[in-house]
């Protein structure tokens, strides 16, 4: 069944379709309508879940951690400053290896106060041990929620899906909601090996001396290696079951190309339009939309880079003192295989500034000669 809905409603319908058993969330613009919708699902008995009202995002994540440790499927949603307030608990969820799933509506960090699209909030959480998948449209928000639980529960990691503020969160699109029995079959009930259970007692999160902490860190990294495979496997299975295939990278018209444009999130939709126009004129350019930022698909990037003589990266984020984050990670992926391709870095769209087709065409034209570490696009 297709319904017209915003990205936020697609996230809420996604959590409902996954039969999340505990929802703990705190409202924040522009995420609020996700938790409002979930609250109404629970209030109207459309969703069999415990809805926990909390006093902060830190507590929301803490409640999800407790719920997940007890063997429940836990869900939350947040944005911007709310995600920053969760920071400590993000480490807890990952370190405890709990498959909590959250939607983060990507919003610019304050100050100055802003509510518009920017990846600065989620990128800042990259080292907390969460899987991060960036969505392009509302259908993908719904679909990724289902995939995310399956991936996270398989590898034992928490997962964050990111949708751009307003561009997706408050824009209505057609979203196909699949039959519930098909979703239930694809995503069976969560059943962890270890959980808080009075019949079989364990202590969780105890002090770990230098003797074994190191090994537990190794195991988290191993889980990310597994996640890299699972994102591909689950994305393929999802395609077989529901007709829409996903993976680490969405490669758009990447056959026979000499230039690769790399983007993430909703700007890739605009990017695809540009690619279509340029392809019509005979230009050999394709687009790689990076879905999975953590784990970072290094090998896939290398394989693509080997096919081209130029890479153009558009970052809607900046790591101050360094540069565009996707740019940096792409470049570092190339080093080990000595792939000497010029990589152009554009910082664009911070704080929700529009990135138009003309902007993207302009960036492609500007990508010539010796690359610089940062090109600020449209700086006034």
Partner 1 sequence: MFKTNKDMPPSAISLGNMSHNKTGSWRNFRPVIDESKCVKCFICWKFCPENSIEIENDMPKINYDYCKGCGICANECPKNAIRMVEE
Judged by the rule CB under 8 A, the positions of this chain that interact with partner 1 are 95-97, 156, 194, 202-208, 212, 215-216, 218-219, 223
DSSP character at residue 369: S
Residue 289 Cβ vs partner 1, minimum distance, rounded to whole Å? 31
Question: Nearer to partner 1 by C-beta: 210 or 282?
Answer: 210
Residue 208 Cβ vs partner 1, minimum distance, rounded to whole Å? 5
Question: Nearer to partner 1 by C-beta: 215 or 340?
Answer: 215
Q: Which residues contact 273 (CB under 8 A, 6 or more apart)?
A: 357
Closest Cα to residue 195, out of 162, 243, 153? Answer: 153
CB 23 within 8 A of CB 38: yes
Question: Nearer to partner 1 by C-beta: 223 or 347?
Answer: 223
Residue 52 Cβ vs partner 1, minimum distance, rounded to whole Å? 23
Question: Nearer to partner 1 by C-beta: 67 or 223?
Answer: 223
> What angle, rounded to 10 degrees, do the helices at 7-17 and 138-155 form?
40
Residue 133 Cβ vs partner 1, minimum distance, rounded to whole Å? 21
Q: What is the DSSP string of 209-227?
A: -TTTHHHHHHHHHHHHHHH
Question: Nearer to partner 1 by C-beta: 194 or 335?
Answer: 194
30 prior amide bond cis, ω within 30: yes
Measure the CA–CA gap between 134 and 107, rounded to whole angstroms. Answer: 13
Residue 205 Cβ vs partner 1, minimum distance, rounded to whole Å? 5
Residue 31 Cβ vs partner 1, minimum distance, rounded to whole Å? 28
The helix/strand/coil state of 236 is helix
Question: Nearer to partner 1 by C-beta: 110 or 216?
Answer: 216
The separation between CA 290 and the C-alpha centre of its own chain, rounded to angstroms, equals 10
Rg (CA), the chain: 20
Q: What is the DSSP string of 60-103?
A: HHHHHHHHHHTT--EEEEEEHHHHHHTHHHHHHHHHTT---EEE
């Amino acid at each position: 069944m297709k319904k017209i809905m915003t990205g936020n409603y697609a996230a809420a319908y996604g959590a409902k379709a996954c039969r999340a058993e505990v929802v703990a969330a705190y409202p924040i613009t522009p995420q609020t309508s996700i938790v409002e919708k979930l609250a109404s699902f629970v209030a109207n008995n459309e969703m069999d879940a415990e809805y926990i009202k909390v006093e902060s995002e830190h507590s929301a994540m803490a409640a999800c951690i407790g719920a997940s440790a007890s063997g429940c499927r836990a869900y939350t949603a947040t944005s911007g400053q709310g995600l920053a307030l969760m920071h400590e608990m993000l480490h807890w969820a990952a370190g405890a290896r709990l498959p909590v799933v959250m939607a983060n509506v990507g919003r610019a960090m304050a100050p100055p106060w802003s509510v518009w699209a920017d990846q600065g909030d989620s990128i800042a959480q990259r080292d907390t041990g969460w899987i991060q998948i960036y969505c392009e449209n509302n259908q993908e928000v719904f679909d990724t929620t289902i995939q995310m639980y399956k991936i996270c529960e398989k590898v034992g990691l928490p997962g964050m899906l990111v949708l751009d503020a307003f561009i997706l969160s408050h824009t209505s699109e057609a979203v196909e909601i699949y039959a519930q029995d098909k979703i239930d079959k694809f995503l069976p009930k969560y059943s962890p090996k270890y959980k808080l259970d009075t019949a079989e007692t364990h202590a969780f999160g105890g002090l770990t001396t230098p003797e074994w902490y190191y090994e537990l860190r190794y195991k988290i990294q191993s889980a990310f290696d597994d996640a890299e495979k699972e994102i591909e496997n689950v994305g393929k299975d999802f395609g077989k079951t529901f007709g829409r295939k996903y993976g680490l990278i969405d490669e758009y018209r990447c056959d026979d190309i000499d230039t690769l444009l790399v983007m993430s999130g909703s700007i890739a939709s605009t990017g695809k339009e540009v690619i279509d126009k340029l392809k019509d004129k005979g230009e050999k350019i394709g687009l790689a939309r990076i879905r999975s930022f953590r784990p970072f698909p290094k090998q896939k990037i290398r394989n693509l880079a080997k096919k081209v003589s130029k890479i153009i990266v558009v970052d809607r984020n900046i790591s101050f003192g360094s540069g565009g984050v996707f740019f940096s990670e792409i470049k570092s992926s190339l080093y080990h295989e000595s792939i000497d391709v010029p990589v152009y870095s554009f910082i664009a769209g911070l704080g929700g500034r529009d990135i138009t087709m003309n902007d993207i065409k302009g960036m492609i034209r500007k990508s010539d000669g010796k690359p610089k570490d940062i090109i600020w696009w449209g700086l006034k």
